Structure 1
Amino acid sequence: MKSKSLFSMLMFSQIKFYLSLCFLLFIGTKTFAQSPELTVKGDDAEKVRMSQLKVNVKVVGNIAYTTSEMHFFNSGTRQMEAELIFPLPENVSVSRYAIDINGKLREAVPVNKNKGKQVFEAIEHRRVDPGLLEKVDGNNFKTRIYPLMPNGERIVVIGYEEELSAFDKDNLVYQLLSRYPKKLDQFEINVSVLGASAEPAVNGDSEKEIVFSKWNQSFNASIKKENYQPSEKIVFKIPVQQNVPSVVTQNVGGQYYFYGNTFVEGNKMFKKSPASIGLIWDNSLSCKNRDLKKELDLLDAYFQKIKNTKVTLYFLNYTFEKQKEFVISNGNWAELKSILQNTKYDGGTRFSQISFENQDEFLFFSDGLSSLSENLLPKTKKPVYAITSSVSADFAFLNFSSMKTGGNLINLNQINAETALDKLTNVNLKFLGIKENLTLTDLFPMEGTSVSGNFSFSGISLNPKNEITLLFGYGNDVVLERKITLDAATQNTTDINVEKLWAQKKIANLELEYAKNADEIELLGKKFGIVTKNTSLIVLETVRDYIMYDILPPAELRADFDLIKKQDQDRALAQQKNNWGSIESYFKGINAWWKNNVTTSPAALAKYKKQKANETIKGDPDAVLTIDEPVGSAPAMSVVEEDNAVYNAPKIEEIKDKKVASEEVVYVGYARMTTNSSQIIARDGDVQQKLQGRVAGVAVDTRNETVSSLNYSVTDTLTFDSKNKDKIWNPDRLYLKALASAPKEKQYDLYFELRKSQERNPSFYFDVAHFFYNQGDVKKALQVISNIADLGLENHQLYKTLTYTLRQWKDYDDAVFTAKQVAKWRAHEPQSLRDYALALEDAGKYQAAFDELVKSLEVNYYGEMSGQYEGVEDIILMDINRLMSEHPGLKTGKLDKKYLEKMPVDIRIIMNWNQMDVDLDLHVIEPTGEECYYSHKNTEIGGRFSKDFTQGYGPEQYLVRNAVKGKYQIKTNYFGESTLTENGPATVMLEIYTTKAGKVSRTLKTIQLGKVKENETLAEIVW
């Protein structure tokens, strides 16, 4: 019998947990999400909470260094896992990350993002606790907290530095918004302000509680509370010397890095009021929770200012649709405002759909996150004003888009209403560079940057003394100059890492064109320990882990690291593998099987069927306790081999519980469970082994032949119609029943009502999308299913689900994009590259598909992950073989000629799934009654089974060269998911290839499974 991996068994017994922790910290007027939101699946949700928060802030000049130390406590009896996802303001990145290892904080070190992900996942399977902090889409960061032991605590430290914005020419401002849903055992804030010209002022309710005291050259204040629930905003105004540019320098190897800031206020130049405006309103799901009031207030102020104009409204989500034209007269925009207030937010985002018509200017309200297409620069010569109130946004893209068109980025989290209106109504002052100075280099920000009040700059001087003349103006005309004097002798500082500030400014500039500058960004990120799109921060448990994976450890471990390396020169690095190394052995196996050319005569087939029918079960008659049909059995489906077979709607059938002796009966393999006894009776030893680890919380006691601690229930039923129609997940959900009973014209509105309690549930969108698809409303189905892309940032498992569905529904262009994203995020996974190759094939890009399949065999992964990736060669070889046969003329130079030998088969079945930590098994019952699966890989009629995957995504494959007439049943055993994020149930994709008269037909099926299941019928093929 098959035994599950220790990892899967342990993880399966845990409660699934998802924590999205967002900190809302306003620095200057910048917003950093800092109010924690805790979401826990399971009965022990209330047991996990943040118990302590300690924030330390040091302000030097206009730079604030913030460190948040967060303590998470699990008062429950189960081991838990958490994920933190939090956004940071524009141009700010995490530069410190630490977690506690064996009770002591350990600092993280920089690593290539892809390598960090591989190392983290490899070590994770040893059940130890590495830490990884990554930057994901937009300016969002995520990390994992694991394990949270019963009655235990974990500590996470996040640090970053950023520039304070000017409140006015006399003051900088620091605001802290701390709102928490539960009380904290301890809450502490310590603030130190160095070099302020006077004592900082405190506004708000804390004015009497917070008192700054002067000590040496700094002003200090602190708050300490116990059993406290922060719920107020604290505002510090920090005085600065008027009209005196602040400059600091740092000597690094004879190069003088400098950082300065100055207040720039030029004469306002009013722009001509636009006669026509294109208002592009992003109403995708990710924009649902943005600050609508701030955006409408800005529009109201703008229309009152310009009075008369014409506005054309466009909605942007999965589609881009022109809504209506509105005439604004004397500032009256009530009709347009009403529509925006009542806009429904639905679907993913495709910026590629935007079409810029002939308007005088465009107002683009969005978070800048395009979940279903590349972020494309606007194709217009008219100014685009990118306006965002979303804390989680791609500020770099929005800023670059507006800058390139002559508009402005208006970040409503960062600027007040007056400044925002000024950016819309006036031609903004721009930074035009500096007067020629050959002894200055690498000056940032870039030319063309808008200037509004406080302006900071950084660069490198080749001389210890120098003079910079900053130029500002409109268009190409300089209207203002500002001279800055550099003197390393008087401006040198030990309080600020000027070189690192320069690096952050350079990275922010380079990320405006990330694809072009990726390599340089990675080098800077690694050098300075800054998290970027391709640089992460990692914490490993032992010194030997750092040595094995060739990662330089933090300072505290360097002595041990160097000593071990010196004493153990021959210590091997972690083994790097790829599938190409074993491709020949897999090819020989398939080729030998194919050349064996098993055929079954009708007489032999009849004899075999008769023999199977006469077989009887030997031994104890109580070994198999089957009394009736299994609960939830479903009618079968025939798959007719047609070109491009299209599936239609299944019928929704209600599951009827079956009762035996007043007990609800569920059959699990060869055992019976009764709900009132909470036991599984299993006298046969094989049955006990079969049950072991198959059901959540089940432990087999062989002494009294019972299985206790039961946690199992009747789950979903899969249904088919009788004419080879679309097989979907039929979970008998109440929301589907509600939709089915509603009038057709009201179903979409009802969907929004039902969504209120299901918004983060991927299965809800999967179900509802299939509901609309089966009614023939493909457009609405695609709109609904696309929401899955907006449920998680760089969530490859959700994107796999989406890719499977898009391929099945023949939305090939979108499937290529989603598959490409997964291949980019998971470049070390051959399965993800295979998915991308098949999507390319769907889209008619056959050569690219072939090249990607070959590439999937070449990717390197660590040997500890062999269980996840090794064995996919079997499937990829047949993909390559089929692709070459169907599309002759491909350039196959990368392959040895021996692999070009054609090996056509009558039936090929592949089962893929989207989650790594689940165990699914493909079973094919042939017309003879013989079952082909992981422990019986070769059958009498020539059926062949590939490697059994107990870890990873599979896939698993069944082949038969000479199919016999009859019915082939496709089944699966599903042993539950152990992943601890909101990815929903496992999604399965079946690929069914049949060949007749040399012509290949393909059928794709996307199926979502519920909980633990055995012997689940997915489809049948009639040959």
Structure 2
Amino acid sequence: MILRTMTAMALAIGSTLLSGTAAGQTANPSLTANADGVRSDQTVREIALRRIELSVVVRGGLAETGVTAVFSNPGTETLEGDFRFALPEGAIVTGYALDLADYMIDGVLVDRPRAKAIYEERVRGAVDPGLATVGNDGVFHTRVYPVPPRGERRIRLRFVAPLASAAQSDELYSLPLDIAPRDGWSISVSVAGDGPAPSINWPGRSVGPMARDAKGWRERAEGRAPLSGMLAIGRGALPAALLSRNSLGERYVQLSGAVTTGTPARSDSVRIYWDRSRSHARGRHEDELLLLRRTLAALAPKRIELVLFNSSGADRRTVSGIDAAIAALKAVRYRGASSFAALTQESAPVDRCLLFGTGRPSIDRAARLTAACRLDAITTVPDADLAALRQLARRHGGQAHRLGADASLVERALAASTPGVTDVVDANGRSLPWISVPSRAGRWMVLARAPEGDAVAIRIGGESVRVDLPAEGAAVAFEGEGQMLASDALASLGASERRAEYVALSRRYGIASPSLSFIVVESPDDYVAADIAPAASYPATLRVEYDKQRREADGEQAEARRERIGEVIERWTEQVAWWERRFDPKAKPQRPAAQRGDVVPAEPVLVPVPAPLSIPTPSVQVDSVTADDLSQQRKLASEEGSGEIVVSARRVNTVQIAIDAWQPDRPYLKLLDAAPGAFDARFAAIETEHGGVPAFYFDIAAWLAKRGRTADAVEMVLAALDLPSADERTQTIVASRLERYGAIDRAIELRERIAVIEPDRPQPKRLLALALARRAKLRPDTAKTDLTRAVALLGEVALTPWGNDWDGIELIALIEANALIPTLRALGGEATLDPRLVKHLDTDLRVVVDWDTNATDLDLWVDEPNGERAIYSNPRTAIGGLLSNDMTSGYGPEEYLLRRAPAGKYGVKVDTYASDRIDPNGASVVTVRLIRNFGRPDESEQSVDIELLGDDDGEKQVGTITVRPR
């Protein structure tokens, strides 16, 4: 399957200093390959790590690391190389480069889904791209294509990481390696500063003290023998101030000092915020509870409050003592997504607050926790957002801690009364950008932007300590401090809330993140075609050619925008003419419609489906009907022998749609079906085995919703957002399910997020518009605002020249926009559409399909009562059926319209014509919407998700629509 960013890297992280060392990755680095970039078990091929070179520079509390890897293809097929490197805890990836011709080309940071799409499009075109990502699990991952037969490729990685803190050991930079490169390896290490020689250990053997030179301590080794074990480096001496200057000319300083021994802090009241979302399920709870027990024993509170929170709200309780608190936390069930929405109202003041969680809300991201107390944050979750936790703690006068193998330093910090650093200011008392970083026992350390003056003041509690800065000549070239501070600032921008600022800051300092990936493409025209600018370091000769082609492309794009309105008006005028034409309801098929040699029979053959369910499924939005109506509908459905939508000119007679024909065949669903009353007990067991992928939570949510447990279904589907493998595709499916379950505000939040991060596809904007329109039906007070924006978004979709891949989406968007305009005008609003594009086209029947994979050609078929099939080769039928343009490159939508529907049965099918050739095993989720009386006051809709696996080529029955005579 196409590898969604880090989907295959849902790794179980152990209690190690490395977030990336996991059961799922036995070697660091790891290297695999697939023939021709097709990712399946059948295409796995041998590939060799030929050489690896590592360079580590330790300065104060930071370490910069460079990795160069060369891998070779011993076979005769063209391969895609897949290289992964587990990063030290807290590491920030700051650079990636790939060899192209005679150059090492630096990658450009691009929105993750767009970078992936650019990469895979070029793999399909057999040109040279490279894609590098860093996942929430702390693993760097690059895909490189092609690795030619008997050829090799070279990649370069750079990252910066804070050194770990330790009470008993100075070995604070730790990197596990398991390598056996054919042409050998080299490792160079330098540690800045005076003082005793830092210790160093090569993987699997001890080297001893490092050698001294004018700048500090150095060691270098190389060889051919395999290395397996931990590269461990001790911290150098910690002076009061280390001054650095980065390549942007900015000055930074590392400051450190001794911690004043504090007395045990007594607190009469302690509040414990405990994240009970799916994200915290990956934490080391035994370690957290041991730390909590010891901390509470030291604080000796008279009152202990527990606040258990997730996306479903907060459970607040007061417990009788430490044992009761620990027992309650041991019993927590981790469900839903991480959210602070239930914690925005400040509770009664308490002396101390402790928060255990990840710091990264995956939903309700605008909500901010407020607590009337000093708050310290603790995490053991490998992919926790430490920068967000630092900011949260800092707002409340506390500190954030990652609980590692040695918990004693965290325990002392939580139990002591001596506060940590609360601010760093210049000579005029202005706060400087700063963050705390781990230090050795008995010391504090911060990184700060250096002011123009010669001193700074460190505020610790109510005191201020002056620290003199080194002379300007002492500044050393070093990038790490600026990158760490920029990473901290990114946490306040959010990955999508302030996207332009987020991207600009990330690119300024070269910081990759789960939402921004590095991309390298082959030539200047590839950069132009992908509409991305190459890195500033792009070779000068190639830059000249890129600039020339970019100017030409800009002119062509401007011309396309000018011509777009005329093209759309012409197509819309033709669509209106179709709508206004009177068709003969008794017309015979114009010709047999064929699809790949399959001639439609005289009477449509429909796949048998089971009798309708007595309870509507979560995929069905049911019209409001009376008890007598339902009785009549069940009788009609029983007589017909299948579940179907029955449409008449007045009302829907049967509103059920049978989905058993495509319901996922999952063993865990059968287990739950066998004993619905034992859900909680059985769910805990099956989640352990199956809960590593989003599809599991979608299945369970559907099971719950079918049984009327809508709130539980919402909680379950939101849990998918907290998985390390969750990506934009996950968010899209979650948004769709939330709309069906009635959680419209959260659905819109996700739609907004996707639209921001995927601006180069029309579908996210269209789906956001439709979600806003749904909310307008529910919220009269905001309906005008929502509808105004929805129409504007659909107009943008219609008038933007997207290119041939999505030709035809403009007519679908205009159909949908015009259906909203009458309601908008009734509310006193006005559409921003060109008047020539305003015409309300209502229809008896409308069928729309969308799907969620790229480069997948999926077709909508409708078999009409007269035996004619509306299909891409026969888009206009004798009775007036109209099928939209065939979308062959992925995502859809495709649409069938019929203004006046003759009586009879309409069979709706989807057909997988071609899956992505580099994604033969991936499952596409197809959403089919069946709508009657579209654009009319009595409009109603049923929708269903169908999962299509890579081997599901061919047609699949969706359902039937029966129109009865008036």
> Considering the TM-score relative to the shorter chain, is it more than 0.5?
yes
Q: Is the 8 A contact 2:363 2:746 kept in 1?
A: yes
Residue 945 of structure 1 and its aligned partner are, at CA, apart by 0.7
Equivalent positions of 1:384-533 (< 5 A) are 384-413=375-404, 416-434=407-425, 436-437=427-428, 443-445=432-434, 453-462=443-452, 466-474=453-461, 477-478=462-463, 480-488=464-472, 490-493=473-476, 496-497=477-478, 501-502=481-482, 504-506=484-486, 508-509=488-489, 511-514=491-494, 519=500, 522-531=503-512
Change (3 A) 1:88 1:520: farther
CA deviations on 1:971-996 (whole Å, 9 max, x unpaired) are 11024643878996211112222119
- C-alpha distance in structure 2 between counterparts of 1:105 and 1:20, whole Å: 27
2:568 to 583, 589, 603: 583
Q: Deviations over 1:466-517 (max 9, x none)?
A: 421413231xx22x423314422x4143xx236x734642552464355897
State how far apart, in whole Å, the 2-side matches of 1:311 and 1:971 are.
59
**1:1009 alignment partner, one of 948, 951, 966:** 948
Report what 2:649 is aligned to.
none
Alpha-carbon distance in structure 1 between the residues aligned to 2:411 and 2:920: 37
How far apart, CA to CA, are the structure 1 residues paired with 2:754 and 2:553? 34
2:533 is aligned with 1:559: no
**Separation in 1, partners of 2:6, 2:484:** 34
**Per the alignment, do residues 486 and 924 of structure 1 end up closer, same or farther by CA in structure 2, a change over 3 Å counting?**
same
CA contact (8 A) 1:116 1:538 kept: yes
Q: Which residue of 2 aligns with 1:197?
A: 195
Report the AA paired with residue 460 of structure 2: G
Aligned residue number for residue 232 of structure 2: 235
Structure 2 Cα separation of the partners of residues 81 and 89 of structure 1 = 25
1:70-89 matches, within 5 Å, as: 70=69, 79-80=79-80, 82=82, 89=89
| TM-score normalised by structure 2 residue count | 0.81
Counterpart-to-counterpart distance in 2, 1:399 and 1:352 = 19
Residues 860-905 of structure 1 deviation map (CA, whole Å, 9 limit, x = unaligned): 9998x72433321111111111112345336334212233322211
Work out whether 1:275 is the aligned partner of 2:285. Answer: no
Unaligned stretches of 5+ residues in structure 1: 1-10, 649-717
Maintained 8 Å contact 1:636/1:720? no
Say if 1:371 and 1:82 are closer, same or farther in 2 by CA, change over 3 A: farther
* 1:994 paired to 2:932: yes
* 1:968 positional shift: 1.3
Distance 1:739 1:643, change over 3 A: closer
Give the superposition deviation at 1:30: 6.6
**Secondary structure, counterpart of 2:282 in structure 1:** coil
Contact 2:164/2:439 (8 A) holds in 1: no
Taking the TM superposition and a 5 Å limit, the aligned residue runs for 1:778-817 are 778-792=710-724, 795-817=727-749
Maintained 8 Å contact 1:86/1:141: yes
Structure 2 letter corresponding to 1:873: E
CA drift at 1:176 = 1.3
The 3 A distance-change label for structure 1 pair 88 and 859 is farther
Instruction: Confirm or deny: 8 A CA contact 2:187 2:220 kept in the other structure.
Output: yes
How much has 1:930 moved relative to structure 2?
A: 1.1
Q: 1:468 to 1:346 in 2, by over 3 A?
A: same
- Paired with 1:917 and 1:817, the residues of 2 have a C-alpha distance of 27
Distance 1:251 1:287 in 2: 37
- Match of 1:399, SS state, is helix
Q: 1:372 to 1:237 in 2, by over 3 A?
A: same
Secondary structure, aligned partner of 1:920: strand
CA RMSD, 1 decimal: 4.7
Contact 1:808 1:1006 in 2 (8 A): no
Match for 1:238: what amino acid? R
Alignment of 1:941-1020 (within 5 A): 941-975=879-913, 977-978=915-916, 985-995=923-933, 998-1010=937-949, 1011-1020=951-960
Q: Which residue of 2 aligns with 1:842?
A: 774
Say which of 659, 663, 677 aligns to 1:727. 659
Percent of aligned positions that are identical: 20
SS in 2 for 1:68: strand
The answer to whether the 8 A contact 1:735-1:754 is kept is yes
Q: Which runs of structure 2 are paired with 1:625-636 in the superposition (5 Å)?
A: 633-635=608-610
Q: Is the 8 A contact 1:830 1:859 kept in 2?
A: yes
Q: 1:247 aligns with which of 223, 242, 246?
A: 242
Shift in CA distance, 112/940, structure 1 to aligned 2, threshold 3 Å: closer
In the other structure, the counterpart of 1:851 is 789
Please state whether the residue corresponding to 1:426 is helix, strand or coil.
Answer: coil
| Alignment partner, residue 869 of structure 1 | 806
Does 731-740 or 81-90 show the bigger shift? Answer: 81-90
- 1:521 deviates by 5.1
TM-score (ref. length: structure 1): 0.77
1-side partners of 2:773 and 2:380: how far apart? 40
In the TM superposition, residue 237 of structure 1 has moved relative to its aligned partner by 2.4
Distance 1:981 1:565, change over 3 A: closer
Change (3 A) 1:760 1:259: same
User: Displacement, 1:921?
Assistant: 0.6
Q: Where do 1:93-112 residues align within 5 Å?
A: 93-101=92-100, 105-109=104-108
Superposed CA offset, 1:357-382 (max 9, x none):
44624322111222232152213323
Q: Does 1:327 align with 2:320?
A: yes
User: In structure 1, the residue corresponding to 2:955 is in which secondary structure?
Assistant: strand
Q: Residues of 2 paired with 1:18 and 1:967: CA distance?
A: 42
CA contact (8 A) 1:918 1:976 kept: yes
SS of match in other structure, 1:293:
helix
When residues 429 and 983 of structure 1 are mapped into structure 2, their CA distance, relative to the original with a 3 A threshold, is farther
- Asked if structure 1 preserves the Cα contact closer than 8 Å seen for 2:262 and 2:417, the reply is yes
Count of paired positions: 901
How far did 1:950 drift? 0.8
**Larger deviation: 244-253 or 762-771?**
244-253
1:590-601 maps to which residues of 2 (within 5 A)?
A: 590-600=575-585
Please list, as runs of the form range in 1=range in 2, the aligned pairs for 1:33-72 lying within 5 A after superposition: 33-35=20-22, 37=25, 42-43=41-42, 47=46, 53-70=52-69
Q: Do the aligned residues in 2 keep the contact of 1:470 with 1:483 (CA within 8 Å)? A: yes
2:260 corresponds to 1:263: no
Between Structure 1 and Structure 2, the one with more strand by share is 1
Q: Supply the AA of the counterpart residue of 2:391.
A: F
1:933 aligns with 2:877: no
Matched residues in 1 for 2:214 and 2:741: separation? Answer: 70
Give 1:456 shift: 3.2
Q: Which residue of 2 aligns with 1:708?
A: none
Deviation at 1:958, TM superposition (A): 0.5
What is aligned with 2:639? Answer: none
Going from structure 1 to structure 2, the CA distance change for 1:25 and 1:219 (only over 3 Å counts) comes to farther
Counterpart-to-counterpart distance in 1, 2:954 and 2:258: 70
Q: Work out the CA distance in 1 between the residues paired with 2:490 and 2:710.
A: 41
Alpha-carbon separation, structure 2, partners of 1:758 and 1:251: 47
CA contact (8 A) 2:341 2:364 kept: yes
Q: Which runs of 5+ in 2 are unaligned?
A: 33-38, 631-641, 646-653, 777-781
Corresponding residue for residue 738 of structure 1: 671
Secondary structure of the 1:594 match is helix
